[in-house]
Amino acid sequence: MQNIDDSLVIGGKALSGRLFIGTGKYGDDALIPQIAEASGAQVITIALRRVDLSNSRGNVLQRVPEYMQLLPNTSGARNAEEAVRLARLAKAAGAGDWIKIEVISDTRRLLPDGYETAKATEILAKEGFTVLPYMNPDLYVARALANAGAAAVMPLAAPIGSNRGLSTREMIAVLIEEIKLPVIVDAGLGRPSQACEAMEMGAAACLVNTAIATARDPVKMGAAFGEAVRAGRGAYLAGLGRVLEAGAEASSPENGALTGFLNKTAP
């Protein structure tokens, strides 16, 4: 169990679970409550474009357990204006005031548009939304988002859906050091070990959707990611040992192997 003092606070809300999950790619939405429970996730993101409150068939929102924090996202938005419109629709529909800004204007690369994301973040933060923008791990974009009132930043580990892991490791490390907001690693995490590594680095949380949803057993994979995130967080809090770039270092080095000659008199 996570230490109770180690909760993640976003928008004034304390979260004990540091895994965020999605809703978009499951073969049956009925899996959502099981995955939520198995993974220990407390935050769940949901594409507003798929929420249809008027539908007599019901909608995916009804699958989300009540205890979870809903994080509606603006998937499909191609510019700030569409993202803002979707966010306002979310609020009007009673989906709360958390919003994950996703602005993507390249349907093949699926990389977030930093400029439009910052514009949308500024507008929505001023309107009182708790804004979590999805972004490329770029220091200046992150600062712009922080200045615009973001509650956290969500840099991508690798292109969305790619399962390629922490391709942007170095840049995420920069954000973790420089940005005072929670850094939530989003997109591209394909294995629990990669999520674990992100947490060891000091990420505040991880969001995982594709890797769980497209696993042979999504519930078990959800549980595995939950454990990995907890383990990584635990390691971060415990303080990792120093890592050597190359070679090895004996625990008790022989004293003077390299510099001992200094103590001897010249021949």
Partner 1 sequence: MYTAMEDGFYPELMRIQAMDIDAALQAADKTAVQAALAKPVLDEEDLLILLSPAAENFLEETARRSQAETLRNFGRSMQLFTPLYLANYCTNRCVYCGFSTKRRIRRRMLTLEEVAAEAETISATGLRKILALTGDDPKRTGALYLAGCVRVLAGYFSSVGVETPAMTVEEYRLQVDAGADSMTMFQETYNRERYAVLHPGGPKKNFFFRLDAPQRALMGGMRGVNLGPLLGLADWRGDVLATASHARWLMDRYPDAEISVSLPRMRPHTEGGEAAFKPAEVDNLHFVQILTALRCYLPQAGITLSTREPAWLRDKLAPLGVTRVSAGVCTAVGGHTDTGAESVAEQTEDKPQFDISDERSVDEMARDLLRIGYQPVFADWLIGGPADAALTGSIAGSLGNPALSPDIQPV
Q: Which residues bind partner 1 (CB under 8 A)?
A: 24-29, 48-57, 59, 76, 78, 82, 85-86, 88-89, 92-93, 104-110, 161-163, 210, 213-214
**SS3 state of residue 208:** strand
- CB count within 10 Å of CB 212 equals 29
CB atoms within 10 A of CB 79: 17
- What is the H or E stretch that residue 44 is in? strand 43-47
Please state the closest distance from residue 187 (CB atom) to partner 1, in A.
Answer: 12
Nearer to partner 1, 108 or 264 (CB): 108
Nearest to partner 1 of 109, 126 (CB atom): 109
CB of residue 42 to partner 1, shortest distance in Å: 22
2/214 with CB nearer partner 1: 214
Nearest distance, CB of residue 31 and partner 1, angstroms = 9
**CA distances for 139 relative to 144, 168, 195, 221, angstroms:** 9, 12, 21, 32
Identity at 162, one-letter amino acid code: S
Q: How far is the CB of 250 from partner 1 (least distance, A)?
A: 43
Catalytic residue among 100, 119, 126, 264: 100
- What is the DSSP track for 8-43? EEETTEEES--EEE--SS-S-GGGHHHHHHHHT--E
Q: CB nearer to partner 1: give 108 or 180.
A: 108
Q: Is 100 assigned a catalytic role?
A: yes
Count of all residues that appear for the chain in the document: 267
Looking at the Cβ atoms of 57 and 264, the one nearer to partner 1 is 57
Element (H, E) at 195: helix 192-201
What separation in angstroms does the CA of 205 have from each of 64, 186, 226, 250? 20, 9, 11, 34
For the CB of residue 67, give the shortest distance to partner 1 in the complex, in Å.
23
d(CA 259, CA 257): 6
Residue 185 CB partners (closer than 8 Å, separation 6+): 154, 155, 156, 157, 166, 172, 195, 198, 203, 205, 206, 207
- Catalytic positions: 100
